Structure 1
Amino acid sequence: MAAPGTDVVQLDALGARGPYQTRNRLTVTDVAGRERAELSLVPSLFVDRTIKALRGADTPAPDERIGMINRAAELFATATLNGLTPDAYTHLVSRVGGTPLSVVRATVTAIAARLRRAHHSVDQARPTGAVHRWNDPLTRTGRAVWVPRGDVFAVHAAGNHPGPHSLWPEALALGYRVVVRPSRREPFTPHRLITALRTAGFGDDHVALLPTDHTTADALLQGADLGLVYGGEDVVRAYAADPTVLPQGPGRSKVLLTRDVDWRDHLDTIVDSVSGHGGTGCVNTTAVFVEGDPAPLCAALAERLAAVPSLPPEDPAAVFPVQSLATAKALEAHLLHRASGTRPWLGGEGVLGELGDGSAVLRAAVHQLDSPHSPQAAVEMPFPCVWVAPWSRDAGVVPLRDSLVLTAITHDDSLVSELVEEPSISNVYVGDHPTYWMESGLPHDGYLAEFLMRCKTVIRD
Structure 2
Amino acid sequence: MGTEKLSLSEVPTIKAITPVSQGNITRYVTVSDITGKDFAHLIQLPRMFIIHAVNTLRKGKQLTADERKIALKKAGQLFHSGTVCGFNPDDYVNQVVSVTGLPEGVVKKALQKIGDATSHAFRDSALGIAKGVPDAYSDQVKQSGCAQVVRKGAVLAVVAPGNGTGVHALWPQAIALGYRVVIRPSEREPWTAQRLVQALTESGLADYVVMLPTAHDGVEEIIEAADLSIVYGGEDTVIRYENRSDVLVQGPGRSKMVIGDDYPQQDAFELVFESVLGLGGAACVCTSCVFIEGDAAAFARAFQDYVYNRLQDPQERERYLPQLSSHRYDWWLQQVEQYQGFIFSKPEVFSLKSGTRQVMPLVMLADSTDQPIVQLELPVASVTFVPFQHQACLSFLAPALVVSVATKKATLIQSISEIPEIRNLYIGQVPTIWMQAHVPHDGYIAEFLTRSRGYRVDFG
- TM > 0.5 fold call: yes
Q: Cα offset for 1:4?
A: 12
Counterpart of 2:446?
449
Distance across 1 between alignment mates of 2:7 and 2:66: 41
The reply to whether residue 67 of structure 1 matches residue 70 of structure 2 is yes
Amino acid at match of 2:303: L
Q: Is residue 211 of structure 1 aligned with residue 226 of structure 2?
A: no
The answer to whether 1:272 aligns with 2:274 is yes
Hey, what does 1:392 align to over in structure 2?
A: 389
Aligned to 1:243: 245
Match of 1:431 among 423, 428, 433: 428
Segments of structure 2 that go 5 or more residues without pairing to the other structure are 1-5
Secondary structure of 2:249's partner?
A: strand
AA aligned opposite 1:443: P
- Residue 35 of structure 1 corresponds to 38
Query: 1:256–1:290: 8 Å Cα contact kept in structure 2?
Result: yes
Instruction: State the 1:18 CA deviation.
Output: 6.8
Task: Report if aligned partners of 1:407, 1:431 keep a CA contact under 8 Å in 2.
Answer: yes
TM value normalised by structure 2: 0.93
Distance 2:340 2:39 in 1: 38
1:191–1:20 CA distance, 2 compared to 1 (3 A): farther
Equivalents in 2 of 1:264, 1:332: separation in Å? 30
Q: Deviations over 1:162-200 (max 9, x none)?
A: 111100111011000000001111100000000101111
Residue aligning to 2:285: 283
Matched residue, 2:331: 330
In the alignment, structure 1 residue 150 sits paired with structure 2 residue 153: yes
Q: 1:230 to 1:352 in 2, by over 3 A?
A: farther
The runs of 5 or more residues in structure 1 that have no matched partner are: none
Residue 317 of structure 1 aligns to a residue whose secondary structure is helix
Map residues 30-429 of structure 1 onto 2, 5 A cutoff: 30-131=33-134, 137-203=140-206, 205-307=207-309, 308=311, 317-337=318-338, 339-342=339-342, 344-345=343-344, 348-349=345-346, 352-355=349-352, 357-429=354-426
Q: Label 1:229 to 1:5 Cα distance change in 2 as closer, same or farther (>3 A).
A: closer
Contact persistence 2:72–2:120 (CA under 8 A): no
Counterpart-to-counterpart distance in 2, 1:98 and 1:310: 19
Cα distance in 2 between the residues matched to 1:265 and 1:406: 17
Q: Give, in whole Å, the separation in 2 of the partners of 1:70 and 1:154.
A: 22
Question: CA distance change for structure 1 residues 185 and 371 in 2, over 3 Å: closer, same or farther?
Answer: same
Label 1:7 to 1:418 Cα distance change in 2 as closer, same or farther (>3 A). farther
Structure 1 stretch 110-119 or stretch 438-447: which is displaced more?
110-119
Q: Is the Cα contact below 8 Å between 2:336 and 2:346 reproduced in 1? A: no
How far is the alpha carbon of 1:340 from its aligned partner? Answer: 4.3
User: Whole-Å Cα distance in 2 between the matches of residues 260 and 380 of structure 1?
Assistant: 27
Q: Secondary structure at the match of 1:366?
A: strand
**Residues 218, 335 of structure 1: alpha-carbon distance in 2 compared, 3 angstrom cutoff:** farther
SS at match of 1:125: coil
What amino acid is aligned across from residue 215 of structure 1 in structure 2? Answer: D
Separation in 2 of the partners of 1:178 and 1:385? 35
Letter in 1 for 2:447: E
Q: Which residue of 1 aligns with 2:3?
A: none
CA distance in 1, matches of 2:336, 2:251: 19
> 1:12·1:20 contact (CA, 8 Å) conserved in 2?
no
Q: Which amino acid in the other structure matches residue 402 of structure 2?
A: V
State the number of aligned residues. 452
Range with greater deviation from structure 2 (3-12 or 124-133): 3-12
Contact 1:311-1:355 at 8 Å conserved across structures: no
Query: Which segment drifts farther, 413-422 or 445-454?
Result: 413-422
For residues 7 and 361 of structure 1, do their structure 2 counterparts lie closer, same or farther at Cα, with a shift above 3 Å needed? Answer: farther
How far, CA to CA, are the matches of 1:116 and 1:82 in structure 2? 19
**How large is the RMSD of aligned CA atoms in angstroms?**
2.3
* Structure-1 separation of matches of 2:266 and 2:111: 33
Contact 1:332–1:351 (CA under 8 A) maintained in structure 2 = no
Paired amino acid for 1:431: G
**Partner secondary structure for residue 204 of structure 2:** coil
Cα shift at 1:316 = 9.5
User: Cα gap change, 1:5/1:373 in structure 2, threshold over 3 Å: closer, same or farther?
Assistant: closer
Residue 127 of structure 2 aligns to a residue in which SS? helix
SS at match of 2:289: strand
Contact 1:306 1:364 in 2 (8 A): no
Paired-residue identity, % = 33
| Structure 1 residues 19 and 168: alpha-carbon distance in aligned structure 2, compared to 1, 3 A threshold | farther
Change (3 A) 1:421 1:182: same
Q: Is the 8 A contact 2:347 2:361 kept in 1?
A: no
CA–CA separation in structure 1 for the residues paired with 2:52 and 2:135: 31
